[in-house]
Structure 1
Amino acid sequence: MEYRTKEEQVADYLRERIISGVYARGSRLKQAEIAEELHLSITPVREALKLLEAEGYVSGDSYRGARVVPFDPTASAEILQLRLMLEAQLVRGAVDKATSKDIQELRALADEFEAAFNAGDRASARGINYRFHRRMYDIAAMPQTLHFVQILWARYPFDLINAVSGRGKDAAAEHDEILRAFAEGDSSNAVLSMRKHIESGWTLLKPD
């Protein structure tokens, strides 16, 4: 995957770790520690934190450190509906543009996700799941729509959903359904499969 700047690379790295639960909600992110971990200067880390603050992933003073924004359960039902609408557009665009190489890359990520889940490595599985969806949506070449989806992801309880027992097995099967539709060039079925994937995770929370 190609990026324009180091800041975007760092932002995506941090975004993945927040969504996967490696950085727990409410935890503090120290830019010096992140820079050391990534073998980078402070500047791209500071700028990446500013990007994530604008998207709603973190809050606070990015110069001294930022905190992962806590989950707001009252917003989730609305966020779900927005995800379904916008991600449907990305799936359609991705199916229309996907090459055989793109599908092979998605298949490799789906297999990697399932292997990590079967090995009991949930943290890795959650990170791979993020990369699977991000890679798929990159194919659509709809950067503004993807930007808004990433803002929605900041407000969605992925960490809570992915902690539910058995979710990984179901998600792996749902990934397979999505990829079958991709391989057939069937955008309508791909959208339906993605909708099922998103909604099945949401129902595990049993919101009031």
Structure 2
Amino acid sequence: MAGAVRGVAGAAMTGGLAGQPTAEQPTTAASKSERAYAWLVERIARREYAPGYRLVLATIAAELDMSVVPVREAIRRLEAEGLVTFERNVGAHVAMIDDSQYRQSMETLAVLEGAATALAARRLTPADLRRAREVNRRLVESLDDFDPHTFTALNQEFHAVLFAPCPNPRLLELVSAEWARLGRLRDSTFAFVPGRAQESVREHEGIVGLIEAGAPLADIEEAAREHRSATLTAYLHHEHPGEQR
């Protein structure tokens, strides 16, 4: 379980999937296809390969000093994840991101985070809650000189503290994976709706207060779930003001 928790915290700070190899790791630490996958994910996440960018297998293979076979395997994996599209006689391209993917990921994360936070609630120590409040204090301070990417990293750190003791390691793995996917879809939701950041830190204090007071787990789960859902709602209202959710 501890490994999964560390993976979640690592994903929070880097946007990467827990346990996922980086492009810099040697072949002895990961297969060539995994190395190619990590290399491609990094470039898609950094927008070096923007939506619509054509992925030429031979070029990528040459840059990674490997055959096209592991590169093809990596691209198939990305296609299965919805990050790459493939057309016959055209080839592979970085997928065009639409709001439906972002919405689905946020809705999924709301459910997962809510459950993980509730399961962890009774295992959190006073020291854990002090740490959560300290991270939230840093979030409040960051509002004065707002940087959405810094805020997002701290926001994820806050939530990682709250559900770190979750006794279900599979649930933590799913949260980590969804965070990584979300990071590839949107660098930071708060870049679109910075006003949501102020509401978010107030809600954080409310969640910590519920946990500290020993509130029913159902109430804690609902608060954590609605907290994530509120960010999605704010984004959708900003991007699609006439749409009813």
Indicate the TM-score class for this superposition, using the shorter chain for normalisation.
Answer: 0.5 to 0.7
Name the aligned partner's letter for residue 112 of structure 2. L
Bigger shift: residues 86-95 or 114-123: 114-123
CA contact (8 A) 1:161 1:167 kept: no
Higher normalized helix content (fraction of residues): 1
1:42-191 equivalences in 2 (<5 Å): 42-43=25-26, 47=30, 50=34, 64=64, 71-156=97-182, 157=185, 159-163=187-191, 164-186=193-215, 187-191=217-221
CA contact (8 A) 1:88 1:195 kept: yes
Structure 1 residues not aligned, in runs of 5+: 20-29, 33-41
Name the aligned partner's letter for residue 190 of structure 2. N
Alignment partner of 1:17 is 2:29: no
Q: How far off its partner does 1:151 sit? A: 1.9
Normalised by the length of structure 2, the TM-score is: 0.59
**SS state at 1:205 partner:** helix
Bigger shift: residues 144-153 or 62-71: 62-71
- How many residues get paired? 181
Name the aligned partner's letter for residue 16 of structure 1. M
Q: Distance in 2 between matches of 1:12 and 1:101?
A: 17
Q: How far off its partner does 1:192 sit? A: 2.1
**SS state at 2:167 partner:** coil
CA contact (8 A) 1:15 1:57 kept: no
CA 1:13–1:150 in structure 2 vs 1: closer, same or farther (change >3 Å)? closer
Q: How far off its partner does 1:14 sit? A: 5.9
Structure 2 residues not aligned, in runs of 5+: 17-21, 45-54, 65-70, 84-94
Q: How far off its partner does 1:100 sit? A: 0.9
**SS state at 1:159 partner:** coil
**Hey, which bits of structure 1, 4+ residues long, moved more than 4 A?**
11-15, 56-63, 65-72
Instruction: Specify the structure having the higher radius of gyration (Cα).
Output: 2
Normalised by the length of structure 1, the TM-score is: 0.68
CA contact (8 A) 2:136 2:201 kept: yes
CA 1:50–1:107 in structure 2 vs 1: closer, same or farther (change >3 Å)? farther
CA 1:14–1:92 in structure 2 vs 1: closer, same or farther (change >3 Å)? closer
Name the aligned partner's letter for residue 142 of structure 1. N
Q: Deviations over 1:153-205 (max 9, x none)?
A: 23335534211221211111111111111111212332222122111100122
Alignment partner of 1:202 is 2:202: no
Q: Distance in 1 between matches of 2:197 and 2:177?
A: 24
Q: How far off its partner does 1:57 sit? A: 5.6
Name the aligned partner's letter for residue 191 of structure 1. E
Q: Deviations over 1:37-96 (max 9, x none)?
A: xxxxx449x75x949x58x96579798399995645332333333223322221111112
